[in-house]
Amino acid sequence: MSPRAALLFTLGLGAFAASASGCQGGLTDEAPLPALDRAYFDCKVQPVLTKSCGAFACHGDERRFLRLYGRNRLRLELPESQRNAFMTPDERAANYDAARAFVEIGSPETSWLVLKPLEMSQGGYFHGGEELFKRGNVFFDKEDKDYKTLADWVNGAKEDPSCFEPGSDQ
């Protein structure tokens, strides 16, 4: 299932998408992912996602469409005894692709990656963190440094390819 089709199912539009796909071609075609800077993701975005979004109760859950892997979090094909091992290249690649699937190519400022965790009063979408954490969304406003990191990346920020992710084995 393509990221866009899975997102429709996540939003509760699955029945519509499933019925419409039999009538109209192209609804399940894979959309290209945006060509965002991998070094910036590895060095700056990955740590934000792990810290702010990757907990087991959030996106560190294999049932989530935006599924994030990280040290002491959800792991991809590693036994429980290696939960704290350095992230594997496959885990980094999966996180990079998962994050890019939530970025709108032609309109990065309206991407779910930046608007879903932003407080509604600041232009974001309802996220659901209120029930879990009793504190509202992940980012209270657009001045949050971690929000700015995500916003910069979706808008094309680049990083020196020789950088390395904090806490990695590089």
Q: In the prediction, which pLDDT does 12 show?
A: 44
Q: In the prediction, which pLDDT does 28 show?
A: 61
The count of other CB atoms within 10 Å of the CB of residue 63 is: 5
Q: Report which of residues 66 and 17 the model is more confident about.
A: 66
Specify the residue for token string 């309109």: 107
- Where exactly are the structural domains of the chain? 36-154
Highest mean pLDDT among 20-34, 55-69, 109-123: 109-123
Closest CA to 21 of 32, 9, 10, 11: 9
Q: Is the pLDDT of residue 10 over 50?
A: no
Q: What are phi and psi of 31, to 5 degrees?
A: -85, 145
61 SS3 class: coil
